[in-house]
Amino acid sequence: MIWENLEFHNVAELADAPGGLGKQLFRYPVSVRYAINPRGKFVSGESTGCEIRFVTDAPNLRVYLSAVKTEAGGDLAFRVFRGDFEVNGLNLAAIAPGVVNTLCLTPPERFADVTPGTLRCGRFAPEVWRIVFARGASAVFCGLESFGAPVRPPLPEEKPNLRYLAYGSSITHSNLDGYPLVAARRLGADVCNLGLSGACHAEPEMADYLAGRDDWDILTLEIGINILGMNSAEYEKRVDYLLSAIRGRHTSKPIAVITVFPCHASFQATPSENFHAFNAILRRLAEKYNTTLIEGAELLDDLTCLSADLVHPGVFGHAVMGLNLAEKLRAMI
């Protein structure tokens, strides 16, 4: 999405923020947010993986940001990049909700000292400013001051050609070190993260929305752990409709279905029947709809990748999973 000469990536909708502070960044349009399960209605409002991108020669910049809480929590963390290089030493480490925060930016001094072309080694041109938001709140853009210098959105040749879309649970929703971002960076892809923490229920409305999007070249679907308590017949009905809708619209694009990642339900003293039943359903439907099946255990291939809740991977776990997934996706394309 382009607005005021800025690119808002992984943003489906900009809406007026409460209190008139600015424009709130939404990964999903309101028509989808309000159609899904109760938790999904607000978790879908989180700006996880949303980015503000622009190019300018301005020697000094002021970016004005705020946030709207979606769950109990504190400030909204973020990272700033020039291209794929993270910019350290910022004077603002996180965004306080409800007030306008000022982010001061200056170009990295050492970029000017290296041989021309040296830094064009990543997915993005080093001239591209990227402000990337983490989990926990919805980001609000309040304005940008370039002190008269022109500002423009990145050109296509300044961004990755390959576009990766990820839908799944909190494990996909993750954070700025989550496996979808790791996989995308390793693969040289641009990623849209549509994970829904605790709210990935594969509703028909969600299926229709994902099927209707054309802004991706490769798609992963991680479905099951949020609805292990669901009747297996209903689960199969939802996944069948999801894959039918997406494959019906995108007949030849690479689509990967990921079985439920190893977790407490897979090795507890009384094993979860649905854990194994759901995975069997995914294997069967992946073949039915000519999609690639990726076993969750092949991505999370070390139990110590999990944190102590035996569900969510830690930072190390996400890194391992992302690198493993990148190789799987590379084979698909």
d(CA 225, CA 117) in angstroms, rounded, equals 45
Identify the DSSP state of 179. Answer: H
Kind and range of the H or E run holding 232: helix 232-249
**Which amino acid is located at 186 in the chain?**
R
Q: What is the DSSP pairing of strand 218-222 with strand 255-258?
A: parallel
Note down pLDDT in tens along the chain; length 333 residues.
Answer: 999 999 999 999 999 999 899 999 999 999 999 999 999 999 999 999 999 999 999 999 999 999 998 876 779 999 999 999 999 877 777 999 999 999 999 999 888 888 878 898 889 999 999 999 999 899 999 999 999 999 999 999 999 999 999 999 999 999 899 999 999 999 999 999 999 999 999 999 999 999 999 999 999 999 999 999 999 999 999 999 999 999 999 999 999 999 999 988 888 777 678 999 999 999 999 999 999 999 999 999 999 999 999 999 999 999 999 999 999 999 999
Task: Kindly give, in sequence order, each residue whose CB lies less than 8 Å from that of residue 49, ignoring residues fewer than 6 positions away.
Answer: 10, 27, 132, 133, 176, 180, 181, 191, 192, 193
pLDDT at 265: 84
pLDDT at 271: 66
Structural domains in the chain, sorted by start? 2-158 (2.60.120.260), 162-332 (3.40.50.1110)
